[in-house]
């Protein structure tokens, strides 16, 4: 690019660095907004619940293979993982010609999937701009034989389809090694272009972990952008991924065990990579994907599900098929996802719950065919019905010992997740759930009812799991609250699974001042569960107890998958 144009860009960008609007002589900080103003700005995003992530760039040309060898890992990281020199990587641009790209076709895939917004990579870590930028020549117009601007067509197609468009932009830029802060004016000039040319609803930053980017830079960049477009929504990676950065949190490839207490969105791949990799066929099933969406919505979050199109401009058929099936489920049950809030229950052994329109939406994964039991619900149920039933025929509802039961049909109307709607009086009211002693004197502590404390461990459901897993942080721990009607001495049995090579973690089980030590042995896989006795506890009084399981050591990948603890009267049943 000519130096004159370069200095022009810098001048333009620097004029905008102030970032404070002056309205009526008063400097206003656009980041200071009332709750009402923020709620109005976030409304469409919170109601959307489900969006498409698109990782598309010249990394789709090698598609995970370099010099005849499979590089592995994320497709968009090939330049870094294979240590490809910049001049060599730039050659991929000369081979990028997505002649099969069709913006309307992509938007239709998202629309038919029930997705309400789309976030596409305008510039990933490789520094290659996938849009018509004047800021440098390393872009799809100037550096590829394709020479067209896909973002222009996408913006038009999204507008026609009523889907909001967002851009992903990486702060880290491998095409400018060592430039660090010096390229900030150019970054801002590009962001200004993106806002002015395509009017995006959302900007999704990434690559913020570079040492030279500070949280204060993120705040200033957010202010700069909100000055350009006051209703713009920006993720927390504009800063340093903290809850106070940007407008929403961005847990990646994971679902927080109990959600987060601020706006959040889980982003996830459909296979194992964001950018296209020709040999990555580890596709999640439609059932898993729908249940992830439900799990996320049940915790009050959004789900940004990724597709990685090919260098020809095709979204892989495996992705399209799954998205079509997700759309079919949402066509029937979307009311239980869109514009809903997190359910009021700590855990539900058979599925999840969302709340909206004066209803509880019970998403049942495990359909037993007997009455569906809802523990602790205190509301009056005015009506119960299957969301899939066009006639919304009322289902019988009974209540006994604090448990509401709904007489559901023997067969589930949907194998992925069947939704039972409960019309209730007022806001949901749920008794503090407490595990109680069974008639035989035993106390069963299940993963579904554990309180998970920490950052990554979480309750995992599906398949043979139904356990506390992903326990890769030794500082994470779990507790259960339970009521003891009859005191006594109890043997403690633990049911766990642990993959080969991850055994050996030591943990302490504590109830009050009593402690039992345990050591995790390998069971063969993360879903091969075994039960073993770990000792006895003397619980000398009836009343409330809290039992905790805290790891002491973690030599392997994860502590264990913990399914249940069973406290069994040492003198036999009922003693
Ligand atoms: O390094 C990137 C990765 O390539 C991908 O874009 C994900 C998606 O959010 N974000 C970063 C990894 O956290």
Distance 206 CA to ligand 1 centre (A): 7
Pocket test for ligand 1, best of 60, 206, 250 (most atoms within 8 A of CB): 206
For position 464, what pLDDT does the model report?
Answer: 63
pLDDT in tens, 509-566: 999 889 999 999 999 999 899 999 999 999 999 999 999 999 999 999 999 999 999 9
CA 370 to chain centroid: 32
Q: Is residue 547 within 8 Å of 427, Cβ to Cβ?
A: no
**∠ at Cα 337 (334, 341), nearest 5°?**
155
Which numbered atom of ligand 1 lies nearest the CA of 252?
9
Distance 188 CA to ligand 1 centre (A): 21
Pocket test for ligand 1, best of 72, 274, 302 (most atoms within 8 A of CB): 274
Pocket test for ligand 1, best of 74, 209, 306, 307 (most atoms within 8 A of CB): 74
Checking if the pLDDT of 353 tops 60, the result is yes
For residue 225, which phi and psi values (nearest 5 degrees)? -75, -40
The answer, yes or no, to whether any atom of ligand 1 lies below 6 A from the CB of 74, is yes
Count CB neighbours of 1 within 10 A: 13
Q: Whose CA is nearest to atom 4 of ligand 1?
A: 76
For position 513, what pLDDT does the model report?
Answer: 86
For position 52, what pLDDT does the model report?
Answer: 99
Q: Whose CA is nearest to atom 10 of ligand 1?
A: 206
Which residues, at least 6 apart from 381, have a Cβ–Cβ distance to it below 8 Å? 397, 404, 406, 422, 423, 424
pLDDT in tens, 102-139: 999 999 999 999 999 999 999 999 999 999 999 999 99
Confidence band (pLDDT; 50, 70, 90) for 22? low
The answer, yes or no, to whether any atom of ligand 1 lies below 6 A from the CB of 208, is no
Both tokens of 45, joined, read 């995003």
Distance 145 CA to ligand 1 centre (A): 27
Beta strands in 334-371 (DSSP E): 341-342, 351-356, 359-364
Q: Whose CA is nearest to atom 7 of ligand 1?
A: 274
For position 265, what pLDDT does the model report?
Answer: 96
Distance 381 CA to ligand 1 centre (A): 44
The answer, yes or no, to whether any atom of ligand 1 lies below 6 A from the CB of 217, is no
Distance 118 CA to ligand 1 centre (A): 16
Mean pLDDT of the chain: 92
Cα gap 413→531, rounded to integer Å: 34
DSSP assignment string, 230-293: TT-EEBGGGTTS-TTSSSBB--BS---BTB-SS-BEEEE-SSS-SS--TT---PPPHHHHHHHH
């Amino acid at each position: 690019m000519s130096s004159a144009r370069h200095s022009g860009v810098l001048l333009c960008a620097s004029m905008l660095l102030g970032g404070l609007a002056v309205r009526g002589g008063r400097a206003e900080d656009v980041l200071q907004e009332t709750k009402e103003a923020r709620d109005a700005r976030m409304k469409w995003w919170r109601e959307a619940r489900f969006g498409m992530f698109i990782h598309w760039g010249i990394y789709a040309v090698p598609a995970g293979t370099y010099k005849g060898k499979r590089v592995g890992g994320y497709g968009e990281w090939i330049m870094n993982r294979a240590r490809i020199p910049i001049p060599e990587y730039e050659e991929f641009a000369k081979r990028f010609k997505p002649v099969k790209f069709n913006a309307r076709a992509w938007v239709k895939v998202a629309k038919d999937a029930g997705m309400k917004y789309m976030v596409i990579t305008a510039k990933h870590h490789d520094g290659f701009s996938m849009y018509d930028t004047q800021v440098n020549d390393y872009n799809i117009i100037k550096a590829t034989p394709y020479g067209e601007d896909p973002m222009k067509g996408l913006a038009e197609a999204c507008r026609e389809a009523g889907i909001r468009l967002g851009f992903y932009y990486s702060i880290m830029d491998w095409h400018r090694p060592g430039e660090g802060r010096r390229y900030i004016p150019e970054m801002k000039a590009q962001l200004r272009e993106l806002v002015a040319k395509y009017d995006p609803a959302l900007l999704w930053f990434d690559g913020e972990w570079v040492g030279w980017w500070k949280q204060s830079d993120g705040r200033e960049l957010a202010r700069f952008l909100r000055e350009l477009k006051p209703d713009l929504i920006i993720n927390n990676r504009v800063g340093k991924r903290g809850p106070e950065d940007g407008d929403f949190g961005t847990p990646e490839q994971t679902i927080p065990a109990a959600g987060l207490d601020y706006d959040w969105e889980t982003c996830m791949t459909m296979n194992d990579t964001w950018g296209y990799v020709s040999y990555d066929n580890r596709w999640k099933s439609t059932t898993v994907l729908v249940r992830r969406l439900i799990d996320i919505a049940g915790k009050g979050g959004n789900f940004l599900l990724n597709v990685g199109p090919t260098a020809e401009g095709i979204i892989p058929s495996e992705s399209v098929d799954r998205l079509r099936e997700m759309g079919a489920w949402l066509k029937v049950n979307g009311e239980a996802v869109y514009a809903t809030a997190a359910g009021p229950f700590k855990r539900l052994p058979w599925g999840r719950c969302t709340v909206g329109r004066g209803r509880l939406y019970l998403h049942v994964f495990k359909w037993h065919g007997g009455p569906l039991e809802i523990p602790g619900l205190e509301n009056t149920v005015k009506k119960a019905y299957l969301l899939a039933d066009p006639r919304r025929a009322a289902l019988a509802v009974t209540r006994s010992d604090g448990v509401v039961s709904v007489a559901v049909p023997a067969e589930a109307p949907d194998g992925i997740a069947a939704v039972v709607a409960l019309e209730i009086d007022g806001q949901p009211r749920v008794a503090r759930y407490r595990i109680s002693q069974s008639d035989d004197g035993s106390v069963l502590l299940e993963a579904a009812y554990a309180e998970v404390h920490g950052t990554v461990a979480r309750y995992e459901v599906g398949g043979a799991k139904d356990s506390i897993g992903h326990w890769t942080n030794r500082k994470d721990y779990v507790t259960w609250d339970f009521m003891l009607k009859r005191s006594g001495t109890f043997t403690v049995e633990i049911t766990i699974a642990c993959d080969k090579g991850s055994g050996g973690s030591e943990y302490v089980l504590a109830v009050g001042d009593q402690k039992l030590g345990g050591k995790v042995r390998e069971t063969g896989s993360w879903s091969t569960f075994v039960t073993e006795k770990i000792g006895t506890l003397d619980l000398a009084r009836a009343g409330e107890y809290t039992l905790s399981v805290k790891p002491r050591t973690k030599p392997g990948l994860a502590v264990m998958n913990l399914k249940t603890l069973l406290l069994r009267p040492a003198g036999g049943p009922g003693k």
